[in-house]
Structure 1
């Protein structure tokens, strides 16, 4: 690929300067697959160049993970190392920033018992509960980015040889994260400004409920009285502006926990824990999932919903126009970071406290009283399409069409 090294350097710089916005004398923590080592080293170099005090890397190897799932005893998956949870909590307490590289093989664990995966995710969620509060409350700066791996690229571009598939995935990632522009940082500043305009419009309207309608979806979502829309970037506890997802095309808030009714159908596959869940539908009554079905990955979906009481409810509703860079690529990435930013989506599980006025300072009982859902999990799934219409209704009964045929009306 022409100028590949230069584009990669721009990507690393964008991640460090816009994604987590590293400050002088700050520690950076990078979670990275070993296959992404070259990019991880670039991130570290860039972080030091802008003043980072230290860069700590947590490596993981998917093949070792698969070996573990296929060979370790069942009780192994019900445990999570306390020392590791303590490490993350301590780093967050000290004000570190966190970058995660999301580049998993979508079907790595397709032959693994879904119960083992569910047990492992639950154990890690319990152990990392305090650390997750640092990220869910935006106390620390964090960002998720991605680069191609061979298995992932071959899943996305199965008609191409491995090397060509990786190159094609690189081209598309560079495009949707605006790296192939003359000045990616300026391009992102303009993009964030546009997202903020949508956020301001929705917050000013103070909608009481949203109605989603398409061929297979008819869903009403009530919103808490003091809900807040967010999108693009946000400020951490130190008032440092960061962008949690790169790419990002969404504006989002939280549903009223017991205010979701109707049926919704997925429009893109969900890569969850190394398994694909596809063509699935959920039926809600008073906020709770009372029925569900899936053409592929039914047992995995069942285990997800049964994680805890809160995983029977929603924690996020996000609006993403169909006419957007990722959607216009007409590619299913089998990676939630990308697919959720090509489509309106919902999330099963925990709500972001930052989407309630004063939520970051509330305890669990106060958040629940305000209408927010609490759970060990938070999993986005896609519901957007070119046919989706979304109508907002104010407390006074005024109805405003927000989305028509998959896109913003304003």
Structure 2
């Protein structure tokens, strides 16, 4: 329920402000706004009230929202109105430059919203990120897919496509979006070229988790009841130092060794109360024995910069721009079929499942700003039915001096809506199926 509450709150903030961008610019140019809806009211609405010329309401389908402008072919597909003689208060009666501003109003508000939120977050909570330099002190550890594509535990990332990234959380994304990765291995510089099929393997199996800090000081945080570790006598606080009398320092060395002993027994040496204790345990078919580790050096990587308002404003602009660039790169990745990135596009259902189970205002505001940039980019796409599609035709009109007929615009809008609804059906269907499968299978 908390996840549902978070996604509804985030969507409500974004949709209301996005549509307000259209509303305020339309009113600025004296265009009549007939409807303003949060969420879609296909068939019926949950709540509605007419105030002045505008019907304000809440729809039942949480996939967006809309404002219905008089004299415009939009999501409502109201073609009857377009058959009447144009009126001064209608969208179609306004100059092209005014119509363009109205179309871009929602996108502009989304970008300004992200800028404002990041400014407030940096002032209130600080600018936070994981430092690449600190996290690579011991090198990096890689999952199975990372090792398969050519990385080795202990590698350090020097650059991706020739650029160094000082934020580790961004660097993992850079690797998936880039092609050429320069690394340092045992003091030597090497280069790894990632192919689209390799990216598909990483994205499909582990995603960003394919790369982790190489953590040392492996300590038992908790033991799973009735597990092999429980039967062997592992206890919270045990410091693991050797496996089959072979000393190790990093967690990935323990993990890899356990993976080579699946369905077999091993002897693990732990330090308990300053004494070495040998514990013999069985390794299960997944290469695990049944304990959760903790790491003494895990929390040393976060950088927190508390900024003043004047410092936060330009940093928020930089962050908003950086996220817009990442959206462009991710979209290009999705358009490359061999990466199979298109399979991992999420609907609000999938996004809600990825949200935390606890209400955290810092996370929510950061996520809202991130989502706001994503919404701005999505609406910029020149697809009929989206703001970018309307803007494209308006710009073409401004260049050529020729306006698309209402009939042709209706056909184009219908085509765009079919594309959008098909994509929505596929993403919603995939996420709902996954939700049901996880619950019942």
- TM bin, normalised by shorter chain, reads under 0.3
TM-score with structure 1 setting the length: 0.23
Larger Rg, first or second structure (1 or 2): 2
Using CA pairs under 8 Å that are at least 6 residues apart, name the structure with larger relative contact order, 1 or 2.
2
TM-score with structure 2 setting the length: 0.22
